[in-house]
Structures are given as C-alpha cells and as structure tokens.
Amino acid sequence: KPSLSRETKPNQPLQTGWVKEGNKWTFYSQTGVKFTDTLYDGYFFDSHGYLLENTWYQMGNNWYYINGSGKYLSNQWSQINGKWYAFDGYGRMLANVWKGDYYLKSSGAMADKEWVYDQNYSSWFYLKSGGRYAQKQWIGSYYLKSGGYMAHKEWIYDQDYQAWYYLKDDGVYVTGTYTVDGKNQLFQGDGKWIRELTQGFQKGHYSKTIFLDPGHGGKDRGAYYYGIAEKELNLQVYRKLRKRLEGLGYTVLTSRDSDIDVDFITERSRMVNKTNADFFISLHFNAKGNDTTVNLGIQTYSYKDEPGFPSKINKDWHNNPERMSESNRLAADIHSSLLAETGARDAGLLQATFAVLRETAKPAVLLEMGYMDNPEENQKIRSSDYQDKLVEGIVKG
C-alpha cells in the first residue's frame, strides 16, 4: 500500500500526477498526496518521494534494480557495473539459483570463470568465461561430468584421451599408487590409469600365513635319480613341514597338495600374490649330473634382479628394496638353521633370478635341500628321519 504525505497548503490548487521538483521527479495522487517509500506502476519512490533512477532498491528480502527511466527491470538479463544479473517477472533479482546454464551467486552476480558449490545438488560446478557451466571436460586436475557436476570418488573414462582416471574425494585426479576399493592401482603423473598392482609385501604386517611350494609336479617330475623323482621328495617334505607349521598355529597355503601340473614360470607366483601370505618357500632338491661324488649339501636362494630377465607379472614388486631385504634375511636364517639341524655341507647362500623368486610379490626363498645325483646323499634325503631334520631346520629358521 503506497505511503502518502500531504504537501498542499490552504487555498493552493492540488498537485497531481508527475511533478518535477528541481531535477527530480515525484508523483502525487489525485488527492494531492505525494508517494513516498513505495512502488507505483513499476516505479519506485524513496522516503522523500523522489523517483529512483539507475540504482538498487531493497524491499523486504528482495532486491530490484531501477533503470534510467525509473522502472525496475523485470524478466530479463542486465549488465550492471560490469556484472550480469537476472530478474524475474516481478523484478526480483535472482540469487543462489540456476538460470539455464548460468548460475547467479548470493550477490546476484552471474558466476564467471569460477567454482561454485550448490547445496541443492551437493556438488561443485565450474562456470567458464561467459558464465556457462563446464561439462565433459577437464578444468585443471578436476573433471566436470555431463550436467556440470564435478567428478569425485569415482572412475571416469575420457574418450578424448582414451584413458581411465580416478578422482579423489576432493575431485583431484590420482597419480602414482592409490588404493581404490581395497585394491592398489597405479596411475601416471598426468592421472591416466596404468594397471592394478599386485598385493605386495608390507613390512611389519604379518598374518602368520606361509605359502609353501613343492616344486615340479604332474608331468614335470624334476630331477630323477635312483628310482625316485624330485617331485615326490618335494611333496614328502612339504607334507611334513605343513603339519609341523600348522601345529605351531600357522596357516599354510600351497601351490599343490598332490601330484598335479602347476606352471613354474608365473602360476605359482600368481597364486601366492593373491593371498595374504607373509612369505613364500619353494621346496626343491638338487642335481648336476656330473662328478656326482662331489655334489653335496644344501643351497638356499633369494632373488637377484637381472635386467636380462624382466618380470612378467610382478613389475611393481620384484625389485622392491624391502621385499628383497626381507627375502635375503629369511634365506640367511633358514640356511644357517638347516645346516645346524642336518649337519649338511654348506653348498651356498646364493641369489638368482628364478621365476618363482622374481614373480612373487612377497619375500621369497628357494631351498635346494640336497643332491639327488649323489648316491649317498640320495639315500639320506629320501629317509623320513632326515626329512624331519630338514623340516626342523626350516621351522627354526
């Protein structure tokens, strides 16, 4: 309801309609009352009754802009002091709201070349130069999806780069090694996903789980001397060792529990890499096939990285310093303990790039527990009593 103030004096004719006072316009009703602090027919008058021009005006919680003709802007966009604003059909300035592809901030100004967070959508958006929201594109380390929503805590595939990316909770793409849903993933420096990493060794995180690998098996009998195959001896020692370890509370996993074929290049390592085993022990017996009388003793191997033998499935862990250090320590402890328990000749604490040592992501050792081609040693290693000594040496190590 308009505020009215009487400005007439006795015996003077009533002023009505538009009246210019100095350089300002006012408006009087038919009864001679000046309109003050009010809106009339699309025009705003201030507390003195003067028509507002080229200025902002607040009424209640709403803001209006009055143009040079004194009319408020309505149902349109307008650039005011270098910034764009939008007004509804009632002239109210829009704020904290989308208008098409554009966002009007709390000040009413259109967002331009900046980030905004919309509580209604619980998402960040980026408004490009000109005000339209970015979508299906990168803005620095962030990706804006269809509809303008910032990607976060999710995978996205970029057709332009033909690559997968993972965006963290804060929206930044991942680089290096990062765990997603419990699995380690490897990314380039520019965020492109490379591959899933095998579950490698974590020093200090132990589960009392040991993976035993009785070498050879099935069609692969290994060495064969004096009526017995290496695969049989390996399985005999494995069964004794497993029983002993389980009696001590360890969980024992294995590459084979019977006479079956298991690929020696990658399959045994692939098996252990999928487990939570603390370390890997491959059980073997030796043979050279020459001058068998001097072939005696126990050899213990840990991994040696050789450039001529690149890893096939363990590129991320084969030469990991901590894995190699723990492998060397495990090999030394088992080797010295085996020699002490059996009295066998020390044939060497060695390093080699055997496939099972190279492709395993855990600390790993390979044991050569005696020479099958030496007649005397062959009789010894096939005896149950001597095998018990081998088992005790491994357990103590």
CB neighbour list of residue 222: distance below 8 Å, 6 or more residues apart: 215, 216, 229, 230, 231, 234, 284, 285
pLDDT at site 47: 85
Return all residues near 81 (Cβ < 8 A) that are at least 6 apart: none
The helix (H) or strand (E) run that includes residue 34 is strand 33-36
Closest CA to 331 of 361, 288, 377, 368: 368
Question: Which pLDDT band holds residue 241 (cuts at 50, 70, 90)?
Answer: very high
How large is the average pLDDT for residues 186-209? 83
Q: What integer is the mean pLDDT of 301-308? A: 96
Q: Looking at residue 10, what is its pLDDT? A: 53
C-alpha radius of gyration, the chain, whole number: 42
Mean pLDDT (whole number) for 147-154: 98
Which residues neighbour 372 within 8 Å (Cβ) at sequence distance 6 or greater?
223, 224, 225, 226, 228, 230, 233, 285, 286, 287, 378, 381
Determine the residue type at 335: H
Does residue 332 register a pLDDT over 50?
yes
- Check residue 1 and give its pLDDT: 43
What would the pLDDT profile of 18-43 be if each residue is shown by its tens digit? 999 888 899 998 888 899 888 888 88
Distance CA 183, CA 207 (A): 18
Catalytic, out of 368, 376, 377, 392: 368
| Whether pLDDT at 147 is above 80 | yes
Question: Is 267 labeled as catalytic in the residue annotation?
Answer: no
Of residues 307, 320, 317, the one with CA closest to residue 353: 307
| CB-based contacts of 47, cutoff 8 Å, min separation 6 | 36, 37
Would you give the end-to-end CA distance of the chain in angstroms? 96
pLDDT digits (tens, 9 = 90+) for 47-101: 889 998 999 989 889 999 999 888 999 999 999 999 999 999 999 999 999 999 9
Res. 271: pLDDT tops 50: yes
Q: Across the strands, what pairs with 180? A: 183
The CA distance from 394 to 281, in Å, is 9
pLDDT attached to residue 293: 65
Residue 2 has a pLDDT of 47
> Domains of the chain by range and CATH?
17-104 (2.10.270.10), 117-196 (2.10.270.10), 209-396 (3.40.630.40)
Tell me what pLDDT residue 292 has: 65
Residue 12 has pLDDT above 70, yes or no: no
Q: How far is CA 48 from CA 3, 27, 36, 51, 392, in A?
A: 11, 11, 6, 9, 105
- The pLDDT value given to residue 127: 98
Predicted confidence (pLDDT) at residue 217 exceeds the cutoff of 50: yes
The 10s digit of each residue's pLDDT in 114-143 is: 999 999 999 999 999 999 999 999 999 999
Q: Supply the mean pLDDT for the chain.
A: 92
Counting residues of the chain whose pLDDT is more than 90, the rounded percentage is: 75
Which residue pairs from 217-224 have beta carbons closer than 8 angstroms and sit at least 24 positions apart in sequence? 217/256, 217/259, 217/260, 217/261, 217/262, 218/259, 218/260, 218/261, 218/262, 219/261, 220/261, 220/264, 222/284, 222/285, 223/285, 223/286, 223/287, 223/372, 223/373, 224/372
- CB within 8 A of 63, min separation 6: which ones? 56, 57, 92, 93, 95, 108
